[in-house]
Amino acid sequence: MRLSIRVYIIISLATLIAWVPASYALDKTPITLKKVTITLTGPGKDDPVLQSTLTTLPIQHAQTLSLEQYKQDKRTLYDMAIARGYIHASYTEHEVRIDENLKSAQITLSLATNQPFNFGELRFSHTPFSEAFLMRFVPFKRGDRFNHEDLLLLQSRLIQSGYFTKVVIEPLPEEAKNNAVPIQVNLTTVKQQAYTFGIGYGTDTGARGLVGTQFNYLNQHGHRLKTTLNASQRYNNLESQYIIPGSNPLLDSYQFTGNVFHLNTDAKGDSIAGKFSVGKHHASNRWSYTHTINALWERNFNIPDNLPTTNKFILYPSLQWSYKKPSEKGARNYGYAFDLLLRGASQNALSDVTFLQSKIRGNGLYHLNDRLTFKLRGEFGYTLLSGLDDLPTSLHFLAGGTQSIRGYDYQSIGPGRYLATGSAELHYAFNENWGAGIFFDAGSVFNAHEFHDNFKQGIGFVVTRQTPFGPVEAGLARGISKGGKSIQFVFNLGTTL
């Protein structure tokens, strides 16, 4: 018995809806797919993207008839035609014929394409921003070929900008004129002002807290202002930063930053400083760089060995480049990051000190399996100057502490012209929240020919816990070189300064 059925399949993309008929025969036994004929007609018949989509449809290589696959492939080809600008595309042939005697089937599909449409007028809903500023996020020009990928990219850029909580983009083909489709962009703006709070405790810093406020936009040009206060027993910093978006607001910005801070270290005593920086920041894929000009005034006092109080003013450029490759979950996946810093000043250019300094820092991890991870961290630097004591504390190389060589007090190692530290840790995750690791840290801050004399080593273990308030880390460290702690409790909770 032969059963014939005529069905209607709905195909939709955004606001476009088309009812397309399909005829085919059904039988309860598997049907061999003998022949598949899929063609394109009209202006889009030679479109390379449509041709590629057509040749890779699974139904082209199937051995038996699958009605679900037939419907899915027909929709895929149609949707791709719409996405490529053939907005009035339609099927002129669409049928499946079955020979019951031979238990075989033939598929015939023919998609007719119209003249492709272009991008027309771009209409933004009301926002605090000028149209000229919003147009900086647009990846296409009026008159370019209509393409849904460009609309998705525009939506992604607007969301990533941080200015909007919701972005809805709607083509308006019913209002098209001369094959140009208007685009409506509806935007929901974030709150103008946001606040940040955080508390924590660490072996290095003691009790610590953070409070900040950010104006997400100040004017129609998207300017921003951030002010943050970090406070702890070791380090206090009040920072305010004014940010002007560049020609590509997602990648470029110009930053004006002012700091007032107090720093306490075992190696160099106390310092109070004020710093003002002007710079440009650029981020592209995994790379980023920041170039700044800095004016620093710093007063050092309570210096060990009763050394006299110093006051220094330094005007210096700073260049920093960073690269980051994120890791993924799973065995044999890895990730790493590094940054390179160059800075220097001259007494012939309004500075009290002449120096040149470079530092490179990197860290990486390798997932041995789903639970076991191997971590590495290293930091190396060199300072060229005549008198080491002339350099302000905030520019010195110092080491020691939970983010450096554990088993030694925070920034108690140094100062020196050279910096070389490293760490290796093997971490085991019991589950998504709990883990533990063992570590070995080593290195020094030293002058020429003093590396072996000042070489420090530390060993220990940590237990980690992920919480809604941030990671918690607790453990024990032992400094096994001169000046190290026989037992040091290592603890970090919450916001890191």
Topology, domain 3-112: Ubiquitin-like (UB roll) (3.10.20)
Distance CA 403, CA 203 (A): 10
Considering the domain 118-189, what is its CATH architecture?
Answer: Roll (3.10)
pTM for the whole thing?
A: 0.82
Same fold, 3-112 and 118-189: yes
Which run of H or of E encompasses 458? strand 456-467
Task: Give the pLDDT score at 25.
Answer: 44
The pLDDT tens digits of the residues spanning 343-385 come to: 999 999 999 999 999 999 999 999 999 899 999 999 999 999 9
Domain ranges of the chain: 3-112, 118-189, 193-494
Strand bridging mode 206-215 / 193-202: antiparallel
* Mean pLDDT, rounded, of the chain: 89
Exposure on the CB side of residue 169, measured as CA atoms within 13 A:
21
Task: Give the pLDDT score at 197.
Answer: 92
Q: Please say if the pLDDT value at position 23 is more than 90.
A: no
Higher pLDDT: 15 or 262? It is 262
Which letter, b or e, does each residue of 41-57 get, where b requires 16 or more Cβ atoms within 10 Å of its Cβ?
A: ebebeebeebeebbeeb
Of the options 3.60.20.10, 3.40.190.80, 2.40.160.50, 2.60.120.330, the CATH number for the domain spanning 193-494: 2.40.160.50
Distance CA 337, CA 51 (A): 41
Distance CA 408, CA 393 (A): 19
Nearest to 411 by CA among 277, 282, 270, 285: 270
Q: Please say if the pLDDT value at position 427 is more than 90.
A: yes
Contact 378, 449 (CB under 8 A): no
The pLDDT tens digits of the residues spanning 128-183 come to: 999 999 999 999 999 999 999 999 999 999 999 999 999 999 999 999 999 999 99
Neighbouring CB atoms inside 10 A of 449's CB total 7
Q: Please say if the pLDDT value at position 3 is more than 50.
A: no
How large is the greatest C-alpha to C-alpha distance in the chain, in angstroms?
106
Q: Please say if the pLDDT value at position 269 is more than 90.
A: no
CA-derived radius of gyration, the chain: 32
